Amino acid sequence: MWISGRVQGVFFRWETMKRARALGVRGWVRNLSDGRVEAVFEGSEEAVEQMLEFCREGPPAARVTKVEAREEPYRGEFSDFRILH
Fold of 2-83: Alpha-Beta Plaits (3.30.70)
Core vs surface per residue 10-28: b (16+ CB within 10 A) or e: bbbbebbbebbeebebbbb
20: DSSP letter: H
The whole-number average pLDDT for the span 27-41 is 98
Q: What is the pLDDT of residue 31?
A: 98
What is the strand order of the sheet 2-6 is part of? 63-68, 2-6, 37-42, 26-31, 81-83
Residues marked as catalytic: 13, 31
pLDDT in tens, 4-15: 999 999 999 999
Q: Can you count the helices (H) and strands (E) in the chain?
A: 2, 5
Domain residue spans in the chain?
2-83
pLDDT in tens, 39-79: 999 999 999 999 999 999 999 999 999 999 999 988 999 99
